[in-house]
Amino acid sequence: MTASIETTVCPIDAFDNLTLAREILHWMAAVNWAAAQAMKAGHTDYAKHLAGLGQHISDDWANHFDVEAEKLAIAHGMHKQ
């Protein structure tokens, strides 16, 4: 006997992911603004580090949302096989 697999998606989880995405975009805007300000002020090392931080944040959260999208696709029969 096998246990059933939960295939429903909680609307609260979907809402949480969307509001999280919005928050992350605000973070990215702040990092980009800071990098631009650092460049304008001639602080190229800070600008490089901020750009690296922005890349890390983008990569990490892109992976998170890829996983979440895959969960939704599987739960709603849209998963590519």
Contact present, 34 and 50 (Cβ < 8 Å): yes
- State the amino acid at position 45 in one-letter form: D
The pLDDT value recorded for residue 6 is 55
Collect all residues with Cβ–Cβ distance below 8 Å to 4 and sequence separation of at least 6.
Answer: none
Longest dimension (CA), the chain: 67
Asked if residue 1 has pLDDT above 80, the reply is no
Q: What is the pLDDT of residues 22-55, one digit of tens each?
A: 999 999 999 999 999 999 999 999 999 999 999 9
Q: CA dist 29 to 16, 50, 61, Å?
A: 20, 11, 14
CA 9 – CA 64 distance, rounded (Å): 16
Domain map (residue ranges) of the chain:
12-74
Cβ(34)–Cβ(52) under 8 Å?
Answer: no
Q: Is the pTM of this model over 0.75?
A: no
